[in-house]
Structure 1
Amino acid sequence: MKRYLYLLLLFVLTHLSAQAQHDSIPLNSIIEKAVKTNNDHPVEKVYLHLDKPYYAVGDTIWFKAYLTMDFHVPSEISKVLNVELINSRDSVVEELRLPVANGTAFGNIVLSGLNYRQGNYRLRAYTQWMFNFNTSYMFDKIITVGSALNKDVNTNISYSGNVNDKNSKLSARILYRGTDGAILPNKRVEWRIEKNGDIVLKGRGNTDAKGYLYVAINTTKREDISGGLLITSIEAENKKTANSTFILKNAFNGADVQFFPEGGMLLADVPSQLAFKAIQGNGLGLDVKGTVVDGQGKEVLSFASQHLGMGKFLFTPQGNTAYTAKVEFPDGSKATYNLPRVAADGINLAVNNANPHTLILQIGASPSFYQKNKNKAFYIVAKNGGFVTFAAQSILNEQTTTAAIPKSKFKSGVLEVTLLSSAGEPLSERLVFINHDDALNIAVTPDKPSYLARGKVSLNVAAKMADKPAEGSFSVAVVDETKVPFAEDAATTILSNILLTSDVSGYVEQPNYYFIKPDVKKVDDLDVLMLTQGFREFGFTEILSGKIPAVKLGAEQGIALSGILRKFNGIPVFKGAVRIIIPDKNFSAETTTNADGEFSFKNLVFSDSSKVTISARNNVDSKNMKITMNTGFYPVVGRSENFADEIINIDSVLSPSIKNSEKQYQFNQILKEVVIKSAPIKKVTHQDYSALTGLSSIADHEVSGEQLKGCNNFVMCLTTALIGITYRDNNFYITRDYNAGNKNPVQFYLKGMPVDVSFLNSVNPNEVEGIEIFNSDGFSSINKMNNTNGVISINMKEVPKGTKVTASQLKELFPDQNVVTFTPKGYAKTRQFYLPKYDVSKAQLASDLRTTIYWNPAVITDKLGNATLNFYNSDGRGTYKAVIEGIDKDGNIGRTVIRYTVK
């Protein structure tokens, strides 16, 4: 793997002591360990440029991925990218596997009415390599999808109350309107709160004369409310019953304020900057004001937030004094918070980043610390983009030491500055954002000052880095901004993602605010953000102690399929012949197993729809052999840090887009189910299979087939759908037993037959009747026979009686175990963005209501940095917005937004 080693600036702040310190580590040794860690754990980042900030059911999500390493150069580590769309229940609805070439990939996701409903989704992109890190550098963004399909009512909800306060009254206020915008007064509404399929609370009421329903949530189980769903049913137009679902996640949480001392601690008698961040329960910033008082209740100072609930103030804390902050919130409520404890002994690092060309570092020690450590050496090390780009040694011969460092020593992005003792112990740390305003200069020039509807547009692109032409790869999206309005401050861009949010932990609100025409205030606001956020990379404690986690997952260079060949008695087959056949690719290959019976086929190329056959028939005694395929890597779907971007009132916030989609997709309505009353159909359960009769008649948990709707990869859906089950290392375990140390996996049964996890990859989720989970095996002795713990029965829908079964179908039901035929996850097929050409046809075409006017993920500038784009407008009139983003071969990134008028 090609790596880059950057020259370090070795800088002495003061005269060095001639006395050696026996407990010290040479600065060069610290640097060498940091360099080795970076070389062994190179960081990949991935960013997705999307055509729009939000969508409607029926739309297509168009995206281009930029996969980078080091200082943003195209990655040489991974050649496979995974992209997932995850619903509000943390189930993967869509999964794409894409080939990466020159650090880029592109694809699309069709939001069909069969699989998608209105709601907030997560778009996640990652490489397998990224999961070697404590915190992933994967792309994770909230995507809101509105819908006008088969809709009978529009809603708007607001919450009040604090779920953490037992004396607080929880309530919801819901406004109901018809699809024509008229309010729905005096309508009967039934409501219920569900969590994990159980009804926690239910009630009924009527909308008032203004169309509002008030829901008072009176329950002692407040912990069951958070993370639940509020579901209402109202009689809408034409006496139809319209259901609405509202997520209660963080709906009732109160506000909170956190305080962050610069450098990590408050020191007695040392001037200190104290940053703070006030957030609401939904994760968004909340502007506050307040005062700091000492232990005697005397007011020391007042403060107020400066941006999105964040702010800072300077004060000199006294020793043996406890400080509190009295905070007032916008609604007039008040709260008191204890400030961080004042340390009597210590040393701290402060950084002044206000000067555009110079960083001012200041080391401040408390009087007692200074006396004990006078004339001792300390190190300052700065990491930028994962690399140590600055290292300095300082002698503590004054209580306060100041030094200026040219910012030209660093690249644009997050800089981590750490103060270490001579023994290598981290003492203080500060994050700083370096912005040289050195992004690619991408000029986009329209050929006309304004255009007509359906008129031809030509955009000339000229990319430069400084004064030199830039050869690079770019993506361009043009949208009708009248139909898709969006605040630029809140945009996720290639600059905000690669330079900022990918390198800090926690949610960053309105990340693009800091990159749109930066001024003195924005620089200061960004500095406050740095004071309140954590760093993603490995810290020096891990680096110097050698406790960096070992690399467990390799970088994917292509699709790999692997498995184990065993005899029926369980003994691995050594040097067994295994053959792979992919008919639609006219591909076949053969390999042999190792001493453990393991085999692998690497760097395969096939699409999602390809059938693959793995065969061991070319072996002596092959009829007594069994192939077990390894399951793929399916990372756990955890909670997104960006949940604050979820839109609660989609109907109102996305109104222009939803109204346009209603016209655009009016002929794509999904037919609603017509219920025909007849004899009830018997539900298939585990009791239909003789091998499972020893289990309890009632399962501990159940998952209905309905819950698997929209599921494409069965195993991946099981990782989130199974209640009380933990997924680890390609196996499933009873959670409570796994946490107690029992590492025996559950035993799966499909149609009453025992199967392993790899076999589940071939299950069609649409054919599943339901899943029953048993925490014990009852009287069946299943766990004793298989050395397992717990049983999961997957019950398939009954095949209609009277259907003839052919010989080949019968053989599929009882396949030879030395042959496996399945459809593994291959590379996704990508569609071409449709571009109408209105100057070709003179016939009057149907209305063109597109919101994405142009999408091109493959814009390549030539040696002069130029490219030309041609397309046609839709019927929409107003302002169109064109966004171009990209990266050149040297890792320089850039973004440009222009607007033009269509009359």
Structure 2
Amino acid sequence: MLSVIFLGGMMAFIPGEGSPIERIIAALDKWEDTYPQEKVYLHTDRPGYSIGDTIWFKGYVTIGSKHQLSALSGALYVELVSEKDSVTQMLKLPITAGMAKGNFALTKPMTEGNYRLRAYTQWMRNAGADYFYDKVFQVMNPAGDVVFTQIDYSYTTSDNGTYLTANLNYTDSTGKPLTYLPVKYNLRKSYNTLFKGEGITDNKGKVSVVLKDFKIAEISGTHLNTTIEMEDFAVVSKSFPIKITAVSADVRFFPEGGDLVNGIRSKIAFKSVAQDGLGLPVNGIITDQLGNELAQIESNRFGMGAFLLTPQNGKEYQAKINYPDGSTKIVKLPLANEYGYTMEANYDAEVDSVMIRVSRQLPYLSREDDE
């Protein structure tokens, strides 16, 4: 039995003239007028690229709070940043009516990996790099390359802390596993080698590198460099950044009203927090235990967001979270109750009031119970 109770106009907040709230709003408006904050967004022609391609993009510069095209700055700086956090190319583009256009040619000796587009104006530098536009994208080897490598990371927690395992999967250009081939690897931070080892790919072309002797904080900013020796004795080298955001960040989910109840649509807020305690922007998808996609999520720059979900009896739900550095993490959502109450609050700006909706899910009653 599902019943809904509407309570309208129960909570209304009408600040009086000259109230503390109005003074705070006036002060914030004055601050925005005195120190306007610019924002940049780059629209690229595709989400990923191969070596030899050209990145075409169009930039939009706005006044952040008003979302209007900005006339404040005359130049847009766009950087192509490698996995080693070095600027490989940079453009200074003229801004006309709040917009700019440009391109980067992805030519050799560029290697495959995750790269970043970073864009900003000189005015934005006053607020710091946290306000820059920063997008991660993947650059792949051209189709003629003989070795393709995928890497993912798993984390194991024990009494001695959390350690990381890098799982490498080698295939040829047709997707066939490169089996029983020797692989050498080393872990480097800047110019220092922290760890060396070797292994052999298994019957699926996989080999794992266990970094059990290192704490997570110690391998931040490192790269895993690998070489695989082919059957014709050719040696192919690959380099991968070690990504630890997924283990160091914390994502929590907060159903509105406190609990999820099967059969009732609920708003679920979420908060992503980095290791330093600051909000971390994320995006991702919500799926059930069978992998069916139910919702897409994206936070604001403070790591906060919300989505709607109607849980069903017998199902469990999880979120696949994507972090700014390209790492991912699976986080389970709170389990839904079979019966219970939920609460939803909606603010109506036109009448300056809050409407509370209470929903309940009760078990079906037999005639004997009803009597």
TM-score (norm 2): 0.64
Match of 1:189 in 2: 183
Match of 1:869 in 2: none
Aligned counterparts of 2:28 and 2:271: Cα–Cα separation in 1? 32
Aligned counterparts of 2:56 and 2:74: Cα–Cα separation in 1? 20
**Residues 192, 230 of structure 1: 8 Å contact kept:** yes
Distance verdict in 2 for CA 1:212–1:60, change over 3 Å = same
**Residues 191, 233 of structure 1: 8 Å contact kept:** yes
After TM superposition, give the deviation of residue 288 of structure 1 in Å: 9.1
Q: Superposed, which structure 2 residues align to 1:359-508 within 5 Å? A: 361-362=353-354
Give the alignment partner of residue 171 of structure 1, picking from 165, 178, 182: 165
Aligned counterparts of 1:63 and 1:31: Cα–Cα separation in 2? 37
After TM superposition, give the deviation of residue 81 of structure 1 in Å: 1.2
**Residues 15, 22 of structure 2: 8 Å contact kept:** no
**Residues 86, 121 of structure 1: 8 Å contact kept:** yes
The answer to whether 1:117 aligns with 2:111 is: yes
Distance verdict in 2 for CA 1:189–1:109, change over 3 Å = same
Give the alignment partner of residue 94 of structure 1, picking from 85, 89, 94: 89
After TM superposition, give the deviation of residue 242 of structure 1 in Å: 0.9
Distance verdict in 2 for CA 1:359–1:109, change over 3 Å = farther
Match of 1:157 in 2: 151
Aligned counterparts of 1:84 and 1:13: Cα–Cα separation in 2? 47
Aligned counterparts of 1:178 and 1:15: Cα–Cα separation in 2? 67
Aligned counterparts of 2:345 and 2:199: Cα–Cα separation in 1? 58
Q: What secondary structure sits across from 1:253 in the alignment? A: helix
Distance verdict in 2 for CA 1:241–1:60, change over 3 Å = same
Match of 1:219 in 2: 213
Give the alignment partner of residue 202 of structure 2, picking from 204, 208, 218: 208
Q: Superposed, which structure 2 residues align to 1:781-796 within 5 Å? A: none
Q: What secondary structure sits across from 1:200 in the alignment? A: strand
Aligned counterparts of 1:15 and 1:76: Cα–Cα separation in 2? 35
Write the letter of the residue equivalent to 1:245.
Answer: S
Write the letter of the residue equivalent to 1:200.
Answer: L
After TM superposition, give the deviation of residue 94 of structure 1 in Å: 0.9
Aligned counterparts of 1:334 and 1:45: Cα–Cα separation in 2? 33
After TM superposition, give the deviation of residue 196 of structure 1 in Å: 2.1
Aligned counterparts of 1:207 and 1:251: Cα–Cα separation in 2? 27
**Residues 161, 215 of structure 2: 8 Å contact kept:** no
After TM superposition, give the deviation of residue 121 of structure 1 in Å: 1.1
Write the letter of the residue equivalent to 1:102.
Answer: A
Distance verdict in 2 for CA 1:181–1:44, change over 3 Å = same
Aligned counterparts of 1:40 and 1:15: Cα–Cα separation in 2? 26
Aligned counterparts of 2:91 and 2:245: Cα–Cα separation in 1? 32
After TM superposition, give the deviation of residue 311 of structure 1 in Å: 5.9
After TM superposition, give the deviation of residue 238 of structure 1 in Å: 2.3
**Residues 144, 173 of structure 2: 8 Å contact kept:** no
After TM superposition, give the deviation of residue 194 of structure 1 in Å: 1.5
After TM superposition, give the deviation of residue 157 of structure 1 in Å: 2.5
After TM superposition, give the deviation of residue 160 of structure 1 in Å: 2.2
Aligned counterparts of 2:230 and 2:131: Cα–Cα separation in 1? 46
The one-character-per-residue Cα deviations of 1:352-379 (angstroms, maximum 9, x if unpaired) are: 15x8x968643xxxxxxxxxxxxxxxxx
The answer to whether 1:47 aligns with 2:37 is: no
**Residues 175, 213 of structure 1: 8 Å contact kept:** yes
The one-character-per-residue Cα deviations of 1:464-493 (angstroms, maximum 9, x if unpaired) are: xxxxxxxxxxxxxxxxxxxxxxxxxxxxxx
Distance verdict in 2 for CA 1:196–1:39, change over 3 Å = same
Aligned counterparts of 1:16 and 1:334: Cα–Cα separation in 2? 45
Write the letter of the residue equivalent to 1:92.
Answer: V
Whose Rg is larger? 1
The one-character-per-residue Cα deviations of 1:714-765 (angstroms, maximum 9, x if unpaired) are: xxxxxxxxxxxxxxxxxxxxxxxxxxxxxxxxxxxxxxxxxxxxxxxxxxxx
Match of 1:64 in 2: 58
Q: Superposed, which structure 2 residues align to 1:204-353 within 5 Å? A: 204-250=198-244, 253=247, 256-258=250-252, 275-277=269-271, 285=284, 308=297, 352=346
**Identical residues among aligned pairs (%):** 35
**Residues 278, 288 of structure 1: 8 Å contact kept:** no
Q: What secondary structure sits across from 1:191 in the alignment? A: strand
Distance verdict in 2 for CA 1:181–1:31, change over 3 Å = closer
The one-character-per-residue Cα deviations of 1:593-650 (angstroms, maximum 9, x if unpaired) are: xxxxxxxxxxxxxxxxxxxxxxxxxxxxxxxxxxxxxxxxxxxxxxxxxxxxxxxxxx
**Residues 216, 244 of structure 2: 8 Å contact kept:** no
Aligned counterparts of 1:45 and 1:240: Cα–Cα separation in 2? 48
The answer to whether 1:103 aligns with 2:98 is: yes
The one-character-per-residue Cα deviations of 1:786-826 (angstroms, maximum 9, x if unpaired) are: xxxxxxxxxxxxxxxxxxxxxxxxxxxxxxxxxxxxxxxxx
Aligned counterparts of 1:254 and 1:33: Cα–Cα separation in 2? 37
Match of 1:270 in 2: none
Alignment RMSD (CA, Å):
4.4
Distance verdict in 2 for CA 1:101–1:165, change over 3 Å = farther
Give the alignment partner of residue 76 of structure 1, picking from 55, 71, 77: 71
Aligned counterparts of 2:15 and 2:88: Cα–Cα separation in 1? 62
Q: How many residues align?
A: 293
After TM superposition, give the deviation of residue 31 of structure 1 in Å: 4.7
Match of 1:148 in 2: 142
Distance verdict in 2 for CA 1:207–1:254, change over 3 Å = same
Aligned counterparts of 1:164 and 1:125: Cα–Cα separation in 2? 41
Write the letter of the residue equivalent to 1:40.
Answer: T
Match of 1:425 in 2: none
After TM superposition, give the deviation of residue 247 of structure 1 in Å: 1.9
TM-score (norm 1): 0.29
Distance verdict in 2 for CA 1:168–1:28, change over 3 Å = closer
Aligned counterparts of 2:157 and 2:220: Cα–Cα separation in 1? 8
Distance verdict in 2 for CA 1:194–1:359, change over 3 Å = farther
Q: What secondary structure sits across from 2:28 in the alignment? A: helix
After TM superposition, give the deviation of residue 62 of structure 1 in Å: 1.2
After TM superposition, give the deviation of residue 245 of structure 1 in Å: 1.6
Aligned counterparts of 2:252 and 2:13: Cα–Cα separation in 1? 34
Distance verdict in 2 for CA 1:198–1:103, change over 3 Å = same
Aligned counterparts of 1:328 and 1:166: Cα–Cα separation in 2? 30
Q: Superposed, which structure 2 residues align to 1:783-822 within 5 Å? A: none
**Residues 352, 359 of structure 1: 8 Å contact kept:** no
Distance verdict in 2 for CA 1:351–1:38, change over 3 Å = farther
Write the letter of the residue equivalent to 1:81.
Answer: L
Q: Superposed, which structure 2 residues align to 1:633-672 within 5 Å? A: none
Write the letter of the residue equivalent to 2:100.
Answer: A
The one-character-per-residue Cα deviations of 1:6-28 (angstroms, maximum 9, x if unpaired) are: xxxxxx966969xxxxxx86666
Distance verdict in 2 for CA 1:136–1:215, change over 3 Å = closer
**Residues 278, 286 of structure 1: 8 Å contact kept:** no
The one-character-per-residue Cα deviations of 1:414-465 (angstroms, maximum 9, x if unpaired) are: xxxxxxxxxxxxxxxxxxxxxxxxxxxxxxxxxxxxxxxxxxxxxxxxxxxx
**Residues 161, 252 of structure 1: 8 Å contact kept:** no
Aligned counterparts of 1:34 and 1:254: Cα–Cα separation in 2? 34
**Residues 130, 136 of structure 1: 8 Å contact kept:** no
Aligned counterparts of 2:28 and 2:248: Cα–Cα separation in 1? 42
Distance verdict in 2 for CA 1:127–1:153, change over 3 Å = same
Q: What secondary structure sits across from 2:180 in the alignment? A: coil
**Residues 185, 207 of structure 1: 8 Å contact kept:** yes
Q: Which has the higher strand share?
A: 2
Distance verdict in 2 for CA 1:255–1:288, change over 3 Å = farther
Distance verdict in 2 for CA 1:67–1:279, change over 3 Å = closer
Aligned counterparts of 1:256 and 1:180: Cα–Cα separation in 2? 38
Q: What secondary structure sits across from 1:37 in the alignment? A: helix
